Amino acid sequence: MSLVTDRAALARAWHGDPVLRLGSRPGPAVAVGDETLLLMCSNDYLGLAGDPRLAAAAAEAAHDWGTGAGASSRVSGATELHARLEARLAQLKGCEDAVLFSSGYLANLGTIAALTTEGDVVVSDELNHASIVDGCRLSGATIAVYPHGDAAACRRHVIAARRRGAGVLIVTDSVFSMDGDLAPLAELVAIADAHDASLMVDEAHATGVLGGGRGALAALGFKGRAEVVMGTCSKALGAAGGFVAGSTGLCRFLRLRARPYVFDTAQPAPVSAAVLAALDVIASEPWRAERACHNARRLAAGLDRAGWHVAEPDAAVVALVVGGASAAVAVSDRARAHGVLAPPILPPAVAAGTARIRLCPTALHSDADVDSAVAALGTPHEMSP
Ligand SMILES: *Cc1c(COP(=O)(O)O)cnc(C)c1O
């Protein structure tokens, strides 16, 4: 049996198509086959991915700049439009400069692997995003993982590494993708300052949502206090692409050394234009971020009243932790049968025994939409055997 035949046999154990295919653009409700379902699982927090202003900006840029960049940014893929976007993103984050990557995944992968090498130590929260984990693996650095949100454990790793003379990069999500809670940013900033460590914060779920769109660092008064600020244009900004903001020197270094910047084709100009349009909308319509967070709090409160254990969300992600994988599948199936799309998140994406429904109402959902999502998810009592 060939290697591929063997792996294909493994995949047959998965029943059905592992990928859901939408039949319409993103919005508060979407078409799936001949059903219309409330979309409660997208990271399009501000409801911008289907916004006509972003579509118009993208269409105009496709006309003016073409559909594909044709080369990496270091060859001929970067345009004045990309430079304008990098400057806007730097301004948003209160940094000197920003470097655009074609995805957030590649921004994390390329940045961590470029900044750290054998002999260095990356000190990483156990719930950090997979792209951070993969960047750490690629770097060749020693990886010191601390329990989720445990700043004291982080400090111990940093002190031990600094005592050996190692360079240290502390890396954390600011809003955690699968739990929706905030990292202990005040403590992490203080640890980095006290021990000459560098701090990298992944603002994928906070950019556009917290701090007037600037992110969690800005919301908590730590603008400029992390040396490396990562964000993505694929979530609240409604398009695609990732970026790292920081000092002029950091950005110059990444443009020289980050392999996904050097070897990956640049972001298509229509996408850059859509992100620029999104940044204008975010500045002029602060109600969107407020609405997304209001909806998340309303959803969490409703689920709590229904008997689920749900933590109060710090941003716009609500984690309904069900426990067992089959129970989470059952809750998701029930929601689907009641018109709500919210797929289960199962191990290994989350720890065993913490299978969950990850819910993200967006700025475009009404209170009635949120309440019908609560009703569709049922109660834990109803789901127990
Ligand atoms: C989604 C995500 C990324 C990757 O961003 P993409 O633009 O989707 O590649 C990185 N970090 C976190 C925390 C994320 O949730």
Question: What does the DSSP assignment read for 359-381?
Answer: E---TT--HHHHHHHHHHH--HH
What was the pLDDT predicted at 384? 62
Banded model confidence at residue 9, pLDDT cuts 50, 70, 90: confident
The contacts of residue 10 (CB under 8 Å, 6+ apart) are none
Check: CB of residue 197 under 8 Å from CB of residue 170. yes
Catalytic residue, from 177, 198, 234, 272: name it: 177
SS3 for 305?
helix
Nearest to 35 by CA among 17, 20, 23, 49: 23
CA 196, CA 253: separation in Å to the nearest integer?
A: 19
Which pair of tokens denotes residue 252? 């110059």
- Ligand 1: does its nearest atom lie under 6 Å from the Cβ of 174? no
Q: Pocket of ligand 1, candidates 234, 267, 317, 350: which has the most ligand atoms within 8 Å of its Cβ, to mutate?
A: 234
Considering only residues 210 and 8, tell me which one the structure prediction assigns the higher pLDDT.
Answer: 210
Q: Environment class of residue 125 by beta-carbon count within 10 Å: exposed (0-12), middle (13-18) or buried (19+)?
A: buried
Task: Please compute the mean of the pLDDT values over residues 290-311 and round it to a whole number.
Answer: 97
List the residue whose alpha carbon is closest to atom 5 of ligand 1: 104
294 is catalytic: no
Nearest to 77 by CA among 273, 270, 265, 274: 265
What was the pLDDT predicted at 385? 54
- Ligand 1: does its nearest atom lie under 6 Å from the Cβ of 104? yes
Mean of the per-residue pLDDT values of the chain = 96
235 is catalytic: yes
CA 301, CA 381: separation in Å to the nearest integer?
A: 17
| pLDDT(16) > 90 | no
Range with lowest mean pLDDT among 9-18, 116-125, 188-197: 9-18
Q: Quote the pTM value.
A: 0.97
The contacts of residue 159 (CB under 8 Å, 6+ apart) are 195
End-to-end CA distance of the chain: 41
Tell me, in angstroms, the distance from the centre of ligand 1 to residue 86's CA: 18
Check: CB of residue 144 under 8 Å from CB of residue 152. no
Query: Which contacts qualify for 296-301: CB closer than 8 Å, 24 or more apart?
Result: 296/180, 296/359, 296/360, 296/361, 298/361, 298/367, 298/370, 298/371, 299/359, 299/361, 299/370, 299/373, 299/374
165-177 tens-digit pLDDT: 999 999 999 999 9
Considering only residues 373 and 348, tell me which one the structure prediction assigns the higher pLDDT.
Answer: 373
CA 59, CA 27: separation in Å to the nearest integer?
A: 19
Task: Please compute the mean of the pLDDT values over residues 344-361 and round it to a whole number.
Answer: 95
- Ligand 1: does its nearest atom lie under 6 Å from the Cβ of 44? no
Task: Please compute the mean of the pLDDT values over residues 225-229 and round it to a whole number.
Answer: 98
Catalytic residue, from 82, 157, 205, 365: name it: 205
